[in-house]
Structure 1
Amino acid sequence: MKIDLTDTTASKINKALVQGRRAIGTPAVGMVLTLVVVTDEENAYDALKAANDASHEHPSRTLVVIKRVSRSARDRTQSRLDAEVRVGADAGTGETVVLRLYGEVAEHAQSVVLPLLLPDAPVVVWWSVDAPRDPAGDPLGALGQRRVTDSYAAEKPVNELRARAESYEPGDTDLAWARITPWRSMLAAALDQARVKVTSAAVEAEADNPSAELLARWLRAQLNVTVERLITSGPMVTAVRLDTANGEIVIDRPEGPLAMLTLPGQPPRTLALMERPTSELIAEELRRLGVDEMYAVALRGEAAKENA
């Protein structure tokens, strides 16, 4: 069910949510958090689809904030809020409000979002594009216990990571970090099995890949070794090589969903290591509503390890 509201207010949106729930006979109970998605018109469809898919694991109220750019000076001074309220099958397993903000109200999006948050429930803010330099200091980011960015969407992803390191606050995270969760898990399992000391390492990936940069920093901080970054044609991370006295530990994924794990003195093994869709990355982040200390270690390197 969809309800369109033009030139509306937060109060009218809340009434429309109640109206929609009554119409389909669905109570508000069962939603575990509010997910605030900050995006633009171009990327709104993909971001909303990912949020709806993630809601099957985490039933939530999803608030999609789209700040519309006014073309004339007159339009920029005229505030207007349009909303699309979705409940039932049109909103995953929760409910969704798409907010389009025009004029001065776009500069105060937090005042629109605040009355629409679920009471006594965690808030996660996700910028699918154009994340602020300081997520925790952003007015919308200040509403969230967790703040999710995606440096892969930036023009210069590695530079974006440097900005994230400078402004990092507990609760910040990045989808570039979630993308390498399977790599980190497999590397940890391989080292547990081999039980050898790593003397150096290399991460192979496409140029300017933020996930590869975070993976290299994490390995450097955890193993206290030099980690070389090697450029390949991709996609994403293609291999990790760990040098040991007994030989090389290698996870190699040149293409496709399968990787090859090689341990010293053992036959190679095939592993499933596919690239996950954004919905799975968001669902992973919604499972952890506390501080991700390992992300801080990877983001800020060895100094973060000392303070973690």
Structure 2
Amino acid sequence: MIVDLPDTTTSRISKELVKLREEGGAVALGRVLTLIIATAPGAEEEAIEAANDASREHPMRVIVVATEPGTEDAAVEPRLDAEIRVGGDAGASEVIVLRASGDAARDEESLITGLLLPDAPVVTWWPGIAPAVPGEAPLGRFAQRRITDASAQPDPQAALLTLQQNYTPGDADFAWTRLTLWRAQLAAVLDQPPYAPVTRVHVTGAIDSPSTTLLAAWLQMQLGAVTDYVLTPVDDGSPGIHGVVLERPTGPIELIRDVPGVATLRQPGQPVHDVALPRRSLRDCLADELRRLDPDELYGEVITNGLQQLGGAESEGADA
């Protein structure tokens, strides 16, 4: 069910939530957190769908703040339009969509304060363009976790450097979350004999894949081996990470993803294996990040020290 509240106020929205709870049985009991989604008008539906899917694992209240840059200008008529989604339109959550303009869009923090679940953690997610310093943004200051997506920025590789310079404990980025399957597979391979040291690491991926850079930084930190990574033009092959080669005295380990969703694993003295390595969906990444509300210390170490120690990328056919 969707309830439209045109030209409304936060107080009216709160009263409508209580009314829905009493009349329709929609309850806030059992909600484990408040998820704030900060996005632009017209781009909210994909994020809401991902949040609804993730809510089946993490029941929550979702507050979507959709404001167009520039609409907070004093010359624009102040207005707050809202809609409340419950039941089948909200998964295991309740969704509040706020579309503000004029003075109503100036103070985003005050806009949502009265709608937060009491005594529940707050997570803020920017699925699109993110602030340079998430920890100091109006919607990020009071959040325990702040989630961004470097791949959604105009220059994903430059976005990583911005994240490095402005990192605050509690920050997270989907470029790191998308590495979970790759990290697990590489760790499993190195956990098998022979236990020869890795002498050199080669990582390849698309230039618009910040995950490729983070994977190279993580491998260099964990293995202490010289690491180089190559970034290829987007139109030169598949997106995302292309592959990893770990050189050892006993022979190289190759994990190459030539086919979307499937990687080929080659190891000395063993049969060739096909490994499922699909690109993770927004729903999977969001659900993964919501499983922990404390700072991800490993991500913090990689985004700061790991990137700093990593050398520059090589490029094929384009400047990195």
Q: TM-score, normalised by structure 2?
A: 0.90
Give the match for residue 86 of structure 2. Answer: 87
SS in structure 2 at match of 1:287: coil
**31-40 vs 4-13, greater mean Cα deviation:** 4-13
Kindly report the root-mean-square deviation, in angstroms, between the aligned alpha carbons of the 2 structures. 1.8
Provide structure 1 residue ranges, at least 5 long, that are not aligned to the other structure: none
User: How far does residue 234 in structure 1 lie from its aligned partner after superposition?
Assistant: 2.4
Give the match for residue 258 of structure 2. Answer: 254
2:239 maps to a residue whose letter is P
From 236, 239, 244, the equivalent of 1:235 is 239
From 297, 300, 304, the equivalent of 1:300 is 304
Give the match for residue 248 of structure 2. Answer: 244
SS in structure 2 at match of 1:143: coil
**256-265 vs 207-216, greater mean Cα deviation:** 256-265
Distance verdict in 2 for CA 1:252–1:16, change over 3 Å? same
**22-31 vs 9-18, greater mean Cα deviation:** 22-31
**67-76 vs 292-301, greater mean Cα deviation:** 67-76
2:118 maps to a residue whose letter is P
Give the match for residue 20 of structure 2. Answer: 20
Distance verdict in 2 for CA 1:9–1:46, change over 3 Å? same
SS in structure 1 at match of 2:253: strand
User: How far does residue 274 in structure 1 lie from its aligned partner after superposition?
Assistant: 0.8
State whether residues 79 and 105 of structure 1, in contact with CA within 8 Å, keep that contact through their aligned partners in structure 2: yes
Q: TM-score, normalised by structure 1?
A: 0.94
Q: Deviation digits for residues 261-300 of structure 1, max 9, x if unmatched?
A: 2222211222111112101110000001111111112212
State whether residues 73 and 103 of structure 2, in contact with CA within 8 Å, keep that contact through their aligned partners in structure 1: no
2:161 maps to a residue whose letter is R
Give the match for residue 109 of structure 2. Answer: 110
User: How far does residue 211 in structure 1 lie from its aligned partner after superposition?
Assistant: 0.5
Q: Percent identity?
A: 43
Give the match for residue 134 of structure 2. Answer: 135
Give the match for residue 269 of structure 1. Answer: 273
User: How far does residue 85 in structure 1 lie from its aligned partner after superposition?
Assistant: 0.7
1:271 maps to a residue whose letter is V
Give the match for residue 182 of structure 1. Answer: 181
State whether residues 127 and 148 of structure 2, in contact with CA within 8 Å, keep that contact through their aligned partners in structure 1: yes
State whether residues 204 and 212 of structure 2, in contact with CA within 8 Å, keep that contact through their aligned partners in structure 1: yes
State whether residues 258 and 270 of structure 1, in contact with CA within 8 Å, keep that contact through their aligned partners in structure 2: yes
Greater fraction helix:
1
2:137 maps to a residue whose letter is D
Q: Does 1:278 align with 2:277?
A: no
Q: 1:241 and 1:15 mapped to 2: Cα distance?
A: 58
- Correspondences of 1:97-246 after superposition (within 5 Å): 97-194=96-193, 195-232=195-232, 233-246=237-250
Q: 1:211 and 1:176 mapped to 2: Cα distance?
A: 5
User: How far does residue 168 in structure 1 lie from its aligned partner after superposition?
Assistant: 0.3
SS in structure 1 at match of 2:192: helix
Q: 1:65 and 1:73 mapped to 2: Cα distance?
A: 17
User: How far does residue 117 in structure 1 lie from its aligned partner after superposition?
Assistant: 0.6
User: How far does residue 156 in structure 1 lie from its aligned partner after superposition?
Assistant: 0.5
Q: 2:82 and 2:265 mapped to 1: Cα distance?
A: 50
**146-155 vs 186-195, greater mean Cα deviation:** 186-195
**33-42 vs 13-22, greater mean Cα deviation:** 13-22
Distance verdict in 2 for CA 1:246–1:72, change over 3 Å? closer
State whether residues 71 and 102 of structure 2, in contact with CA within 8 Å, keep that contact through their aligned partners in structure 1: no
**2-11 vs 133-142, greater mean Cα deviation:** 2-11
State whether residues 220 and 301 of structure 1, in contact with CA within 8 Å, keep that contact through their aligned partners in structure 2: no
Count of aligned residue pairs for this structure pair: 304
Q: 1:216 and 1:87 mapped to 2: Cα distance?
A: 43
Q: Deviation digits for residues 39-79 of structure 1, max 9, x if unmatched?
A: 01131111111111111111110000011356796643x32
1:110 maps to a residue whose letter is E
2:191 maps to a residue whose letter is D
1:246 maps to a residue whose letter is T
Q: 1:71 and 1:189 mapped to 2: Cα distance?
A: 51
Distance verdict in 2 for CA 1:144–1:213, change over 3 Å? same
